[in-house]
A and B are shown apart, each in its own frame.
Chain A
Amino acid sequence: MEKTKELQNIESQFETFQILNEDGEIVNEDAMPDLSDEELKELMTRMVYTRIWDQRAISLNRQGRLGFYAPVAGQEASMIGSQFALEKQDWILPGYRDIPQIVYHGVPLHQAFLWSRGHYQGGQMPEGVNVMMPQIIIGAQITQTAGVAMGLKRKQKDSVAITYTGDGGASQGDFYEGINFAGAFNVPAVFVVQNNRYAISVPVEKQSAAETIAQKAVAAGIHGVQVDGMDILAVYALTKEARQRGLDGNGPTLIETLTYRYGPHTMAGDDPTRYRTSDEDDKWEKKDPLVRFRKFLESKDLWTEEEEEKIVEQAKEDIKKAIKDADGAPKQKVTDLISIMGEELPYNLKEQMEEYKEKESK
């Protein structure tokens, strides 16, 4: 397809925003977010923790002890950086891969594991934790985000709604409807598209003729940016800005983060060698978010190997405990499932409740 000048003009405006380059050097001093040393270290801590947790989750899954799991290694900066820009009162509407964000927003780790196992208690968000259940239906969270954001605005809460989807998710009708509604109603929403280049096996080039996902904001009349998703400072800075834009009444923002998932799509039999080359894997691993941020912190004398070791140990310990807690959850019963069907049960469910009570008592 030969694109017209006008179109090329629009597309070329979406450059990748970066603060920290692959070598851990600041290349955009002016944009450097105002973070204390402690906060910088906290970002690294969370990324290290998440990487370990990902490895543990993968091995637990292989032992048949976890259930559904979508690996996150490679995407830590994109996930952790965007969540760090939020306040407790903000709402997150995650996809199935976005477990780190919701855990750092207050969902207990063992509950995330319960969700993985397909236990309904995994969806019982604790009081004051403004998180929706991770969405399996790709795109559904995006239109709902417009709704949550409208609700927050109407109730004059000082908070925003943020949602996550992938490069594939940005092809859904719900994506276009969601960003368009958010713009039309000028609600405080942030739409993060983690472009990890693949939707299971399908490369992003096959999803759309558009050069970037960020540019899709133009048609919705909202602000759109593309960011180096392996650069936690850049992701943090843009999300923070987007949040403020929403709160100031200046509309929603679409953020496309360029990232990569190192592992398989999920642990349910995906084989990336069928659709990716190891050259591509290598190219992306050179951009690794932990490696570059570690270099940056070391250059500022903020990080040591011993510190990192401690975090690794802590992560392993926490995960062990969380799995134990998850194991302690009561076995699911059909009568539980019936009892959460509604405030008042209709005749058929009442009868079935009796039927299954009897069955379960045997």
Chain B
Amino acid sequence: MAQMTMIQAITDAMRTELKNNEDVLVFGEDVGQNGGVFRATEGLQKEFGEDRVFDTPLAESGIGGLAAGLSVTGFRPVMEIQFFGFVFETFDAIAAQMARMRYRSGGVYHSPVTIRAPFGGGVKTPELHADSLEGLMAQTPGLKVVIPSNPYDAKGLLISAIRDNDPVVYLEHMKLYRSFRDEVPEEEYTVELGKADVKREGKDITIITYGAMVHSSLKAAEELEKDGIDAEVIDLRTISPLDIETIIESVEKTNRAIVVQEAQKQAGIAAHVVAEINDRAILSLEAPVLRVTSPDTVFPFSAAEDVWLPSYKDIVEKSKQVINF
């Protein structure tokens, strides 16, 4: 075991798969000699050569197209989008091409591409660097969407993503990159895609969340405990497909739930989770399932981030609202 930050765990996962499979290629803007703007690919070009870890010209659409093309010739591209807000430049390659590869070829071709990108608020980046755009991805049939909340999961999930035979969007919350360390095995292991993790067991209410909000939710759970409320916290880890069993099992136990996301409210992952609960467990509910989200504005430039992002206090308040319904 080693103590690793999330970014080190991510590098380690890529190193593991570059070693394991020579068809794995890592590329994007500044990922080579510079090791990525966050150093996620630090040392990989040195270790595996320019042939397998390389810089591309500055064009996300080109990067996505390259990955899609390589994927049908037997490679497993791990492409980096420098910040996820630039996904719009390559939305076609991801959502309209890779995600539809099986459909368009009647199942003959598939696109085992991993799309890695940093995102997430609270680190004062310029516009379109921090936006939570995972909902757009989750609404696209044919894509898996993964968001780790800690170093251990980050490594295991990324290895699974690279080994997956279909495109996986793997989003890395910037605030978690270096904020804490975890025990991470040096050897290879996987965390299964599509499996949530119960981070804290409780009996009064289920808080369903993912990414950086896992930490705010755990903090909220501690606060709630002071008031005698025993909250269960579920880290979805994969937001598409959802681990519906874990969600429903928990809600049937606690009979109350809130869903917490950093993204804006409308048409998001939280809305989808609420709908699934309504479909499957409405008779177990003692109260409506509420959401904690950001407001439905554009993700603001850095100066307003702090007031805009949901905080643990919002989670406490919303939980009490559900409890006292």
Q: Is the CB of A172 within 8 A of B89?
A: yes
Residues B57 and A119 in contact, CB atoms below 8 Å apart: no
Question: How many whole Å from A164's CB to the nearest CB in chain B?
Answer: 15
CA gap between A336 and B298 in the complex, in Å = 12
CB interface residues, A 303-362, toward B, < 8 Å:
332-334, 336-338, 341, 348-349, 352, 355-356, 360
- Which residues from 252 to 304 on chain B have a C-beta closer than 8 Å to any C-beta of chain A? 265-266, 295-298, 300-304
Collect the chain B residues with CB atoms within 8 Å of residue A356's CB.
Answer: 295
Question: A138's contact among B58, B298, B308, by CB below 8 Å, is which?
Answer: B58
The answer to whether the Cβ of B59 comes within 8 Å of any Cβ in the partner chain is yes
| Minimum distance in angstroms from B29 CB to a CB of chain A | 7
Smallest CB separation, A320 vs chain B (Å):
21
Whether, in the assembled complex, A173 has its beta carbon less than 8 Å from a beta carbon of chain B, the answer is yes
Q: Which residues of A contact B265 (CB under 8 A)?
A: 348, 352
User: Residues of A within 8 Å of B, CB-based: how many?
Assistant: 43
A199 interface contact, C-beta 8 A: yes
Q: Mark A229-273, 1 if CB is under 8 A from B, else 0.
A: 000000000000000000000000000000000000000111000
Q: Which of B85, B124, B126, B265 has the most CB of A within 10 A?
A: B126
Q: Is B17 an interface residue (CB 8 A)?
A: no
CA A336 – CA B301 in complex, angstroms? 13
Q: Chain B residues near A118: list those with CB within 8 A.
A: 124, 126-127, 300-305
Query: Which of A1-9, A84-92, A202-210 lines the interface with chain B?
Result: A202-210
Mark out the residues of chain B between 34 and 86 whose CB falls within 8 Å of any chain A CB in the assembled complex.
34-35, 37, 55, 57-59, 61-62, 85-86
The smallest C-beta distance from B50 to any residue of chain A, in angstroms, reads 10
Interface check B307, CB cutoff 8 A: yes
> A165-187: contact bitstring with B at CB < 8 Å (1 yes, 0 no)?
00011011110000000000000
Q: Are B29 and A332 in contact (CB under 8 A)?
A: no
Tell me which residues from 202 to 230 in chain A have a Cβ below 8 Å from any Cβ of chain B. Answer: 202, 206-208
Known: A136-B127, A139-B89, A348-B266. A337 touches B30 (CB 8 A): no
Neighbouring A residues of B97 by C-beta, 8 Å: none
Answer yes or no: A100 CB below 8 A from chain B CBs.
no
- The reply to whether A137 and B128 form a contact with Cβ atoms under 8 Å apart is yes
Dominant secondary structure at the B interface: loop
- Kindly provide the distance from the CB of A64 to the nearest chain B CB, expressed in whole angstroms: 10
* B3 interface hit (Cβ, 8 Å): no
Given A274-B33, A275-B33, the answer on whether A172 and B58 have CB atoms closer than 8 Å is yes
The contact of A96 among B37, B126, B297, by CB within 8 Å, is: B126
Within 8 A of A (CB), among B297-325: 297-298, 300-305, 307-308
Q: Shortest Cβ distance from B271 into chain A, in angstroms?
A: 11
A117 at the interface (CB under 8 A from B): yes
Known: A169-B58, A202-B55. Is A349-B304 also a contact (CB below 8 A)?
Answer: no
B: number of interface residues (CB 8 Å):
37
| A136 in contact with B296 (CB, 8 Å) | no
Partner of A68, one of B85, B298, B302: B302
Is A16 part of the contact surface with B, judged by Cβ < 8 Å? no
A201 closest partner in B (C-beta): B34
Residue of B nearest to A202 (CB): B55
Contact B303 A117 (CB under 8 A): yes
In this complex, what residue of B is CB-closest to A170? B58
Choose among B55, B124, B129, B303 the residue that contacts A332 (Cβ–Cβ < 8 A). Answer: B303
B127 touching A334, Cβ below 8 Å: no
Residue from the set B33, B34, B86, B129 with the largest chain A CB neighbour count within 10 Å: B34
**Chain A residues positioned under 8 Å from B29 (CB to CB):** 168, 199-200, 202
Chain B residues, CB < 8 A from A341: 296-298
Give 1 or 0 for each of A123-151: 1 = CB within 8 Å of chain B CB: 00000000000001111000000000000
Q: Beyond A136-B126, A139-B89, is A337–B58 a contact (Cβ under 8 Å)?
A: no
Q: Which A residues are within 8 Å of any B CB, using their own CB?
A: 67-68, 96, 117-120, 122, 136-139, 168-169, 171-174, 199-202, 206-208, 268-270, 274-275, 332-334, 336-338, 341, 348-349, 352, 355-356, 360
- By a beta-carbon cutoff of 8 Å, the part of chain B in contact with chain A is 29-30, 32-35, 37, 55, 57-59, 61-62, 85-86, 88-89, 124-129, 265-266, 295-298, 300-305, 307-308
A-B contacts, 15 of them at CB < 8 A, read A96-B126, A117-B302, A118-B127, A172-B59, A172-B89, A200-B37, A201-B30, A201-B32, A202-B55, A207-B57, A332-B303, A334-B295, A334-B307, A337-B308, A348-B265
Q: A67-B303, A355-B295 are in contact. List 15 more A-B contacts (CB 8 A).
A: A119-B301, A199-B30, A200-B29, A200-B30, A201-B30, A206-B57, A274-B35, A275-B33, A275-B34, A332-B300, A334-B307, A337-B298, A338-B297, A341-B297, A349-B297
